[in-house]
Amino acid sequence: QVQLVESGGGSVQAGGSLRLSCVASGYTYSTYCMGWFRQAPGKEREGVASIHKDGSTGYADSVKGRFTISKDDAKNTLYLQMNSLKPEDTAMYYCAAEDTLSGGVWYRGCVYGYWGQGTQVTVSS
């Protein structure tokens, strides 16, 4: 019913950049919270950035100043611009959408219940 399809992951050297994209179907970005999460091997999934329908954004302290979340409502697409990448950023990155009915993972005032398949980001030193 709701599908989130991510792209843009890859392998880069430290200091490089990547831009992740997430295209939604069966869901309207303009109406709900959207976010990016990541999960490194052996660690729990953590929120990276989120954006609300009014365009307000929030970021994890570890990525502030380096990552930028944005969306194109007309294209139903969410983006994460990642600059000055560090090896510590290596993780599987997931696009997530708010689910106000079924619940899920809480992050910055929103509950995320819809998830993309994940796209791997690997940063080498």
* Residue with tokens 């998830």, as numbered in its chain: 115
Q: Give the tens place of pLDDT for each residue, 17-48.
A: 999 999 998 877 767 899 999 999 999 999 99
**Looking only at Cα atoms, what is the longest distance across the chain?**
42
- What does each C-alpha distance from 44 to 36, 39, 105 come to in angstroms? 14, 6, 12
64-85: average pLDDT:
95
Residue 73 has a pLDDT of: 86
Mean pLDDT of all residues in the chain?
93
Using pLDDT thresholds of 50, 70 and 90, give the confidence band for residue 102: confident
Radius of gyration of the chain (CA): 13
